Structure 1
């Protein structure tokens, strides 16, 4: 299999932009209309995801150690869409038809064979991972909402009790679905460490065009049921082997997974000091400050610093979260979560300031788990 030919051909196809996923899904649904029910009513975001996922796969096609875990996670996670092994050939045929259409005379028998072989391997890894996961866990859990608090304009903190034991680590995320927006799944981070009562917290902010976030903030009520996919991600997790103290830098509802890390340290015993910088544009967006301040008052190892960047009347620490964090950095492991823009800017500033790359932790795939992405 000529991996460079795969990369070069995909690069050519990707130049056609939105026309690529549009053609792919048209081919898939026309030839296999039963697959349409696997996708949300609106396909706008789904089209973006297809291009992103294919780009990631092709870019790493020659790095098997990195690609296989990604594909296995996709296979496990796609169980919640009721994807089964029989769907993979249909997707493969639509993919090859799409490549042939956009490559035109560059689509040779040798290239077609390489793509067919590559897709076959991808499908096999995903299907095997899904089969293995089915032996030990359901495609999703159900969680009854037992608390829904509107903490600020467009921000809600939701607590749900799951129907079965749910194994996850602080710093991880899960995709959520809600009956008001069927077949739409979005990732959110857990805002707490695992509890004995099997409850989980999510911090949800409404975003422009975010149909699920709007439904969760404005429409969800006690007694409603969420579907919760399997936990994913390990970039924001810590273990006993994680060295030293922690410096946590949160932007908006990116606070959620970092708050879960604080709880983990609290439950495991204060073996390390934790500095948590919570960034917001104005004081009204410091939606969890009361609870965080109480935790800091009860635990001397925890230092919480709210930082407000766009409110000239705020009497506390003013400035961007990364500026405040750099003042507090003294060799700690740094964990960053927020919007994509915030994470990229913060990580860049940290590295420019001399923080070693191996001490900067952030989630590259969905950098802001508290938003629809």
Structure 2
């Protein structure tokens, strides 16, 4: 894409969207996003949170100042997934709000965890009831959610479980909620939405907790989600001062390759901040409010271009729209970058980069970042696919290896005979064959099953868990 004309990163280029795209001057979606296609982002004035922030105890936990703190968790909390949707604190009546002012206690956390244990077996029904109540009482909120709610329901319960389990770890909980709040801004979530969402949540909890629901449990939920909503509102307000809720991105090129893969290049209307290896969330015109994760395949560029690798998968709404129905001139929407899989460019440890399928995209970005940093270090790339023709990025990787003598690239196919110097076998097996890797910093990206098997191989090879990086929530 080097032949594309460079544009100043501060000048929006989207002046009018195609007629079949909902992004355009004066349309309802753009008004809902709060940023017009022609107008650069300016920080909106958000209403201040209406409730005081929860106090921290002397032990550093949520609760009354000077309190006794919260006993340690009996087990490791579930992973905190920032893309999960969470229903937060209801704004109660005066008496309930006054009782909730003190913040959650150790007893509150125990009651919430007990009710979450009860809900686990009926999670689908409870969350379906929650949404039914919410949309019946407040039909205007339906526009914040995607048309298909199945994935949203699953994310909701995971987020509730994570927040309840991590309530006595304020540092981890606050970090999680901060990312969650920033991600939720792209949905158009406002402070006034927290009350009705929370009241619907309490209604669903009361229905499905049965005999485990009582006034003490209700108050515990109000206190904990009061604290949760305060953190989220404050985080969203702070983020709104420095960044838009989302970025509009014009498609400048679509390179369709073998194996149902397309390389899609975008130019955002404003600078899009991310680190090589992180992922973005993306929304296409055909499926409003349906967001999917894609990793940029280039390090951040001065010309503002962002390149994504997308494979069309069966029943993949967004992926099929991107591969088969997206063309130059279309306008997409990006959420804020996220993910912990990025390289310490000042480190000295050799790097092991393992990518399956389109999971190679963030690893190519990492290689570019290392090269641009100008500090040579050993980098070993293993790139795998099922069949030879699906290794769509091999030429690009080999070109990088020719330019940088510190980079080695090996390919593997699990079906059929490999060409050239490639290997036959699954990617984890080929990586195992070349071990040990105990001195390396490892990064793994690709299908979940491949990541899990590769992580297991690396652990058997003696690579410490802190040196294995991926963005899969639960590799075990």
| Equivalent in 451, 464, 467 of residue 359 of structure 1 | 467
Greater percentage in strand: 1
Q: Secondary structure at the match of 1:13?
A: helix
Q: Deviations over 1:298-342 (max 9, x none)?
A: 111111111111224655211122222231544111111111111
Is the CA contact (8 Å cut-off) linking 2:180 and 2:232 kept in structure 1? Answer: yes
- 2:376 aligned with 1:268: no
CA distance in 1, matches of 2:375, 2:347: 14
- Determine the structure 2 residue equivalent to 1:46: 152
**Equivalent in 398, 416, 425 of residue 293 of structure 1:** 398
User: In the alignment, which residue of structure 2 is the partner of 1:279?
Assistant: 384
- The corresponding residue for 1:138 is 244
| Counterpart check, 1:344 vs 2:449 | no
SS in 2 for 1:127: helix
Contact 1:14–1:20 (Cα < 8 Å) also in 2: no
Correspondence 1:306 to 2:411: yes
Tell me the residue number matched to 2:16: none
Whether 1:10 and 2:142 are equivalent positions in the alignment is no
Quick check: 31-40 or 12-21, which moved more? 12-21
Task: Compare CA radii of gyration and give the structure with the larger one.
Answer: 2
2:338 equivalent among 232, 240, 244: 232
Paired residue for 1:214? 320
1:86 to 166, 189, 192: 192
CA deviations on 1:3-58 (whole Å, 9 max, x unpaired) are 22212210211211321221111011111111001011111221121122222222
Match in the other structure for 2:296: 190
8 Å CA contact 1:144–1:223 kept in 2: the answer is yes
Mapping 1:100-139, distance limit 5 Å:
100-139=206-245
Q: Distance in 2 between matches of 1:300 and 1:241?
A: 19
User: For residues 255-281 of structure 1, what are the alpha-carbon distances to aligned partners after superposition, in whole Å with 9 as ceiling and x for unaligned?
Assistant: 111111001011111421111100111
Task: Assess if the C-alpha contact under 8 Å between 2:280 and 2:338 holds in 1.
Answer: yes
Unaligned runs of 5+ in 1: 368-373
> What is the CA–CA distance in structure 1 between the aligned matches of 2:173 and 2:132, rounded to whole Å?
27
Q: CA deviation at 1:176?
A: 0.5
CA RMSD of aligned residues (A): 1.5
Contact 2:250 2:331 in 1 (8 A): yes
Q: 1:33 aligns with which of 116, 139, 144?
A: 139
1:62 to partner: Cα distance: 1.9
Q: What runs of 5+ residues in structure 2 fail to find an aligned partner?
A: 1-104
Moved more, 137-146 or 40-49: 40-49
User: In the superposition, relative to structure 1, how do residues 366 and 199 fare at CA in structure 2: closer, same or farther (>3 Å)?
Assistant: farther
Using the TM superposition, give the Cα deviation of residue 97 of structure 1 relative to its aligned residue in structure 2, in angstroms: 0.9
Question: Is the CA contact 1:247–1:329 (under 8 Å) kept in the aligned structure 2?
Answer: no
**Residues in 2 aligned to 1:243 and 1:270: alpha-carbon distance in whole angstroms:** 9
Partner of 1:300: helix, strand, or coil? coil
> Is the 8 Å Cα contact of residues 436 and 462 (structure 2) preserved in structure 1?
no
1:24 paired residue number:
130
Contact 1:276 1:305 in 2 (8 A): yes
Q: Which moved more, 1:220-229 or 1:320-329?
A: 320-329
CA spacing shift, 1:212–1:348, aligned 2, 3 Å: same
Q: Which has the higher helix share?
A: 1
- Counterparts of 1:332 and 1:280, CA distance in 2: 23
**CA-to-partner distance for each residue in 1:161-216, whole Å, 9 max, x for gaps?**
11111221111111111112112111111111000100001111122322111111
TM-score under structure 1 normalisation? 0.94
Give the count of matched residue pairs.
366
* Structure 1 counterpart SS, 2:289: strand
Query: Scaled by the length of structure 2, what TM-score is found?
Result: 0.74
Residues 174 and 187, structure 1, Cα contact 8 Å, conserved in 2: yes
